[in-house]
């Protein structure tokens, strides 16, 4: 038992005298008073004055470690030491009571509990500690020293080795209620009073003699130093039962509060970014207020995808527009409840809108698209396919105010004519993608206008439009053209297609499906001249095996060939292209009735890097994917 004393009596007296003049500096002793828990001598305890007082009672103890056992003489000396402790009446007397390492070994070996023998006045009540507001330091666990010089360097440290440091607590962990029949109020240490001013520290009782030395260790001021779980006997109990329960409660608190909300908001925002607007609005935002605030973060409302939600109406768009002015992308495809008023309101409040998609919104008219053109100067993408009410007036507004437009889709807008298309091409010189589908009023005049005024065009599609070879030939001036869709062009000859392939050196995808005029000679020229071509679609064209053989022989870049519904394709053409082509990865043979299924099965085995598309092969791949996802015929029949 010891107090943090100096190495000699002179220093002790010097510090004691200074207490009457000024507030003494905070000592290294954690308890700021007589440390009854540690029994560590903080100084040179081998002085003759202290050792002579107990020499007659200590004969069998050796200078060993704390856990060395003493003989029968040591048992008698410990009784005398306990009696001396019972006679202590003041902190000053306690401060003078020093133990040598030999005596300390005897006391530790016997495991005697001295708390019951200590005068009650030496232990202050817990209430004073609570009112004092003394910060509780953390006890540091170290190994047991092996000599007296080691004890001189120790500062209120436990004698148990290899014990982990306890996590700091926000509240004093030793400020717990005193059990009934336990320690009573008493006078505190003079040093503790000088340091704390108003209160003292509450000491935890020592383990009784029946306690095992392997019990969980409690640090000074009652903080447990829990490392790995230590085994303890059935009759052993924690040093501080209230603190033990408190630590368990504290651990349960950590478990209760360690939820997903403890993550940084940036991580939660990243998680929520993988949810759709419907999932965020109808699921995540209803969990708690914190999640609702996260779901309202501005980054989620930059790109708004409301496609297919029939509950969306003008009121919702007005609310979004009034609260979120940073919307850059809006998708309202298949939203039947949205009218021109909602789109106009959003366009007026969101000048930064860049991408607008509204497929199959037949209820919208020119008013919505004109409003977007007027209020959104940064508009770069407009996809408004299948809108019957859209006319040339909207395209003229786009040409006047949307100079940044780069991508436009006007498929199946049957009221659009060459007048609107020419105005659009002249006002949007940065246009890179233009797609038309079944626009019967669009002719070669529109194709020529885009070829002349939009030199940056990369994707051009005029599927099913009233376009002929006279208009398509103008596309040869587009040096950046990479994808060309000429499906179902009524008057398209082979010479025009071959000229386009020769002049457009960057062309990588060519779709010539549903053109009966395309023959084997045209395909051969395409295979020879298309140096960058990777995709060639020839569904329902007038080609034979010679076309497939030419592709395998002359092209080193084509990876995808679709020759479905070409009735003249046989086993010879499929085998030759698979054998000779080094770049082929996909061969479409759907409904090529002259190609035997046995031949396709053999090709699948011989050329596993090529995907052969037939009715049977597609069915097998679909069934295989179903099995991989856990489907089985038994579960299907049971359901």
Compute the average pLDDT of residues 22-35: 45
The pLDDT score that the predictor gives to residue 322 is 80
Judged by DSSP in three states, 572 sits in: helix
Q: Is the pLDDT of residue 245 over 80?
A: no
The pLDDT score that the predictor gives to residue 160 is 43
Q: Is the pLDDT of residue 218 over 50?
A: no
Closest to 76 (Cα-Cα) out of 94, 64, 61, 95: 61
Query: Across all residues in the chain, what is the average pLDDT?
Result: 74
Q: Is the pLDDT of residue 19 over 60?
A: no
Q: Which residue blocks in 302-417 are alpha helix, DSSP H?
A: 314-323, 340-349, 366-375, 392-401
Task: Give 487 or 244, the one with higher predicted confidence.
Answer: 487
Judged by DSSP in three states, 534 sits in: coil
The pLDDT score that the predictor gives to residue 276 is 82
Residue 193 Ramachandran class (φ > 0 left, ψ -120 to 50 alpha, else beta): alpha
Report the DSSP pairing between strands 407-409 and 303-305: unpaired
At 279, the pLDDT band (50, 70, 90 cuts) reads confident
Return the H-helix or E-strand segment holding 192.
helix 190-196
pLDDT in tens, 69-81: 444 454 555 566 6
CA–CA dist 413, 360 (Å, integer): 10
Minimum mean pLDDT range among 10-24, 287-301, 302-316, 349-363: 10-24
CA–CA dist 41, 51 (Å, integer): 13
The pLDDT score that the predictor gives to residue 392 is 95
Percent of the chain with pLDDT over 70: 59
Q: Is the pLDDT of residue 622 over 80?
A: yes
pLDDT in tens, 166-213: 444 444 444 444 444 444 444 444 443 334 444 444 444 444 433 433
Distance of CA 277 to the CA centre of its chain: 19
Provide CB contacts within 8 A for 546, sequence distance 6+. Answer: 520, 524, 573
The pLDDT score that the predictor gives to residue 419 is 95
Minimum mean pLDDT range among 221-225, 273-277, 285-289, 565-569: 221-225
Question: What is the reported pTM?
Answer: 0.59
Q: Which residue blocks in 542-596 are alpha helix, DSSP H?
A: 545-554, 571-580
The pLDDT score that the predictor gives to residue 490 is 84
CA–CA dist 567, 564 (Å, integer): 8
Provide CB contacts within 8 A for 608, sequence distance 6+. Answer: none
The pLDDT score that the predictor gives to residue 385 is 92
CA–CA dist 451, 474 (Å, integer): 6
Q: Kindly tell me the burial class for residue 606, based on how many C-beta atoms sit within 10 Å of its own C-beta (0-12, 13-18, 19 or more).
A: exposed
Return the H-helix or E-strand segment holding 329.
strand 329-331
List beta partners, residue 435.
409, 461
Q: Is the pLDDT of residue 288 over 60?
A: yes
The pLDDT score that the predictor gives to residue 39 is 43
Judged by DSSP in three states, 61 sits in: coil
The pLDDT score that the predictor gives to residue 193 is 39
Compute the average pLDDT of residues 21-37: 45
Judged by DSSP in three states, 407 sits in: strand
Q: Is the pLDDT of residue 44 over 60?
A: no
At 1, the pLDDT band (50, 70, 90 cuts) reads very low
Pick from 84-88, 162-166, 253-257, 460-464 the range whose average pLDDT is largest: 460-464
CA–CA dist 133, 198 (Å, integer): 9
The pLDDT score that the predictor gives to residue 538 is 97
CA–CA dist 412, 410 (Å, integer): 6
The pLDDT score that the predictor gives to residue 285 is 86
pLDDT in tens, 503-557: 999 999 999 999 999 999 999 999 999 999 999 999 999 999 999 999 999 999 9
Judged by DSSP in three states, 169 sits in: coil
At 107, the pLDDT band (50, 70, 90 cuts) reads low
CA angle, 223 then 174 then 43, to 5°: 65
The pLDDT score that the predictor gives to residue 5 is 42
Q: Is the pLDDT of residue 462 over 60?
A: yes
């Amino acid at each position: 038992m010891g107090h943090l004393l100096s190495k000699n009596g002179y220093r002790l007296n010097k510090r004691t005298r200074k207490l009457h003049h000024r507030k003494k500096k905070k000592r290294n002793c954690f308890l700021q008073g007589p440390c009854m828990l540690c029994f560590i001598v903080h100084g040179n305890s081998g002085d003759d004055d202290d050792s002579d007082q107990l020499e007659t009672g200590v004969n069998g103890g050796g200078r060993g470690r704390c856990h060395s056992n003493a003989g029968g003489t040591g048992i008698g000396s410990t009784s005398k030491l306990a009696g001396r402790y019972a006679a202590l009446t003041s902190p000053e007397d306690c401060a003078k009571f020093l133990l040598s390492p030999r005596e300390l070994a005897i006391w530790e070996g016997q495991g005697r509990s001295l708390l019951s023998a200590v005068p009650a006045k030496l232990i202050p009540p817990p209430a004073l500690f609570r009112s004092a507001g003394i910060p509780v330091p953390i006890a540091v666990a170290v190994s047991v020293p092996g000599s007296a010089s080691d004890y001189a360097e120790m500062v209120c440290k436990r004698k148990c080795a290899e014990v982990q440091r306890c996590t700091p607590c926000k509240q004093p962990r030793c400020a717990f209620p005193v059990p009934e029949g336990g320690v009573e109020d008493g006078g505190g240490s003079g040093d503790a009073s000088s340091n704390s001013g108003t209160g003292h520290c509450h000491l935890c009782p020592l383990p009784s003699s029946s306690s095992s030395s392997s019990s969980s260790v409690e640090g000074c001021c009652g903080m447990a130093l829990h490392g790995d779980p230590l085994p303890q006997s059935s009759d052993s109990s924690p040093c501080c039962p209230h603190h033990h329960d408190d630590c368990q409660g504290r651990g349960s608190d950590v478990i209760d509060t360690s939820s997903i909300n403890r993550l940084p908001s940036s991580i939660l925002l990243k998680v929520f970014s993988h949810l759709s607007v419907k999932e965020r609005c109808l699921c995540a935002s209803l969990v708690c207020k914190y999640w609702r605030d996260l779901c309202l973060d501005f980054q989620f409302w930059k790109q708004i995808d409301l496609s297919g939600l029939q509950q969306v109406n003008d009121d919702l768009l007005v609310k979004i527009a009034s609260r979120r002015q940073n919307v850059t992308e809006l998708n309202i495809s298949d939203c039947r409840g949205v009218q021109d008023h909602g789109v106009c309101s959003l366009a007026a409040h969101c000048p930064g809108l860049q991408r607008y998609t509204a497929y199959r919104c037949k209820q919208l008219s020119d008013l919505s698209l004109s409003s977007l053109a007027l209020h959104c100067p940064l508009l770069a993408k407009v996809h408004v396919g299948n809108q019957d009410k859209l006319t040339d007036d909207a395209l003229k507004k786009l040409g006047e105010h949307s100079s940044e437009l780069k991508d436009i889709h006007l498929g199946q807008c049957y009221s659009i004519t060459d007048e609107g298309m020419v105005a659009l091409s002249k006002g949007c010189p940065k246009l890179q993608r233009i797609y038309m589908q079944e626009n019967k009023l669009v002719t070669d005049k529109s194709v020529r206008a885009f070829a002349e005024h939009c030199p940056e065009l990369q994707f051009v599609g005029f599927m099913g439009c009233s376009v002929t070879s006279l208009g398509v030939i103008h596309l040869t001036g587009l040096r950046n053209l990479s994808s060309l869709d000429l499906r179902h062009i009524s008057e398209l000859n082979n010479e025009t297609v071959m000229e386009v392939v020769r002049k457009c050196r960057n062309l990588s995808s060519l779709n010539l499906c549903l053109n009966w005029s395309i023959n084997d000679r045209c395909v051969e020229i395409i295979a020879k001249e298309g140096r960058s071509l990777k995709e060639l679609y020839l569904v329902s064209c007038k080609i034979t095996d010679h076309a497939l053989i030419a592709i395998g022989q002359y092209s080193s870049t084509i990876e995808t060939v679709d020759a479905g519904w070409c009735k003249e394709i046989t086993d010879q053409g499929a085998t030759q292209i698979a054998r000779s082509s080094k770049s082929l990865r996909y061969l479409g043979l759907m409904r090529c009735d002259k190609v035997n299924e046995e031949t396709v099965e053999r090709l699948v085995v011989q050329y596993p890097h090529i995907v052969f598309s037939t009715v049977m092969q597609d069915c097998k791949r679909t069934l295989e994917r179903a099995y991989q996802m856990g489907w089985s015929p038994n579960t299907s029949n049971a359901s």
